[in-house]
Amino acid sequence: MSSVAIIGAGAAGYFAAIQLVEQGFTGEIKLYEKSKALAKVKVSGGGRCNVTHACFDPKELTQYYPRGNKEMLGPFHHFQPGDMIGWLADHGVELKVEDDGRMFPTSDSSQTIIDCFESALPAGTLVSKGVKHLAATDNGWQLNFDDGESAVVDRVIVTAGSSPQFSSILKSMGIAMVDAVPSLFTFHIEDDALRALSGLAIEAEVRLKGAEWTTDGPMLLTHWGVSGPAVLKMSAWGARWLAERNYHAEVVINSMPRYHKESLLETLQGIRINAARKLVRNVGPSSVPNRWWQFVIKDNTAIDKMWADVKNVELEEMLAVLLELSLPISGKATFKEEFVTAGGVDLKSVNFKNMESKTHPRMHFAGEVLNIDALTGGFNFQAAWTTAFLAAKGIVES
């Protein structure tokens, strides 16, 4: 009888075990967990579990993955959000879509997903044991557990997430690993005037000075700096770039992303005529909140003038800070709704048809242990579902 050991009962490991059963694997399956199964699923999405995202085109979907975008294209043709939605529906879980495309169980509770997974996994599959060592045998793998016991299996699926301990085990076995750095965090900015805006949201385009990416969407001002989708997306794209700079960089904010320089200049000139007898600090472009306007022009010599008295050079300065306000980042803060790690098993060493290692036969990978991570919105779980599905399929077909 053939046997498979799955190491780590998180989203990827649990789903891989269920997929093995449902795709017809008849051998022995053991799912080893060193602490609590599905712990991250439980706390995910603020306790609601953002299971996936309503994006059904594989090519479009890959654009949400700063790491893994090329490699996940093929896998998404085999198992993508539509398949996960269908699988959950077949198992009695209905999802709902929020305006931004994020999908949650209609119960708004991650427990619904946990209950579903628990009932789909055959009794006796989950074993509470940590794997502390792995060694290749002639035709498979020997696992040594932290209780001193061991087991020999034909294949392993490694789904240990971003565990530094397991990353060291993999590294010591000669598996190519990319060092882990956090992704999906918010930017810490030391600025009392900015802190006073806490709670305000603006539409913005964001970039990092000296880097190539631009992200957009709502940006939230918080008591520690800036957050919101525009910033979280940038933290994912710039995860490694920012880590290399110890999270010290300049974020450049365009708070009027729909305007070109010329059209914004015309808008400001229009305000100078139409609000001539009003104070500059009280009247700004209608598309930015007045508190943000007062913040960006706080150093402009025209701030306490009537609009009629504004000089062209002051107008140019207003334009510059609306389109490119540079603020110093002095650290990062964790985004509590979702937190992932960039880094893990080097994707070049993995066959994405069956998630098998190219260097260590009969060892498969799924989930966050791989150097794949995505923007916030349900994409990280989708990567776990897709890679788990393919690892199981690869094993069944082998």
Strand 325-329 relative to strand 177-183, pairing: unpaired
What span, in angstroms and rounded, lies between the C-alpha atoms of 105 and 46? Answer: 13
Matching residue, tokens 């074993």: 127
Q: Judged by CB under 6 A, does residue 367 bind ligand FAD? A: yes
Residue nearest to ligand FAD (CB): 10
Instruction: Tell the smallest beta-carbon distance from residue 61 to ligand FAD (Å).
Output: 13
The first and second tokens of residue 237, run together, are 């794209």
Kindly tell me the sign of the dihedral angle through the C-alpha atoms of 213, 218, 219, 222: negative
Residues 315-354 that bind ligand FAD (CB under 6 A): 337-340
Q: To the nearest whole angstrom, how small is the minimum distance from the Cβ of residue 64 to ligand FAD?
A: 10
The residues, any chain, with a CB within 8 Å of residue 345's CB and separated by 6 or more, are 158, 170, 175, 176, 177, 178, 357, 365, 369, 370, 371
Tokens 């260097």 sit at which residue?
Answer: 359
- By beta-carbon proximity to ligand FAD, the closer residue of 160 and 194 is 160
Question: Across the strands, what pairs with 331?
Answer: 188
Residue 71 contacts ligand FAD per CB under 6 A: no
Q: Stretches 11-19, 90-98, 206-214, 284-292: which one binds ligand FAD (CB under 6 A)?
A: 11-19
Strand order in the sheet with 325-329: 325-329, 249-254, 201-208, 214-221, 225-227, 185-188, 331-334
Nearer to ligand FAD among residue 132 and residue 281 (C-beta):
132
**120 in the Ramachandran plot: left (φ > 0), alpha (ψ -120 to 50) or beta?**
alpha
Taken in order 317, 321, 324, 329, the sign of the CA dihedral is positive
Q: Of the two residues 12 and 219, which places its CB atom closer to ligand FAD in the complex? A: 12
Inter-CA distances, 81 with 52, 60, 86, Å: 6, 12, 8
Cβ of residue 72: shortest distance to ligand FAD, in angstroms?
A: 13
Nearest residue (CB) to ligand FAD, 117 versus 293 = 117
The encoded tokens of residue 179 equal: 């060092």
Binding letters toward ligand FAD, positions 14-33, x by CB under 6 A: ------------------xx
Min. distance of Cβ 379 from ligand FAD in angstroms? 6
Site for ligand FAD in 28-57 (CB under 6 A): 32-35, 39-40, 43-45, 49-50
Closest CA to 282 of 265, 266, 294: 294
- Contact segment (CB under 6 A) with ligand FAD among 4-12, 63-71, 150-158, 267-275 equals 4-12
Q: Residue 43 Cβ, how far from ligand FAD at the closest point, in Å?
A: 5
Closest separation in Å from C-beta 161 to ligand FAD? 3
Q: Give yes or no for residue 375 binding ligand FAD (CB under 6 A).
A: no
Task: Find the binding residues for ligand FAD in span 146-205 (CB under 6 A).
Answer: 159-161, 163, 166
- Name the token pair of 291: 């508190």
With CB under 6 A as the contact rule, the residue among 58, 82, 101, 130 that binds ligand FAD is 130
* Burial of 255: CB neighbours in 10 Å, binned 0-12, 13-18, 19+: buried
Q: By C-beta, is 36 or 248 nearer to ligand FAD?
A: 36
Question: Applying CB under 6 A, what is the total number of residues that bind ligand FAD?
Answer: 37
Residues that bind ligand FAD (CB under 6 A): 7-13, 32-35, 39-40, 43-45, 49-50, 130-131, 159-161, 163, 166, 337-340, 367-369, 378-381, 384
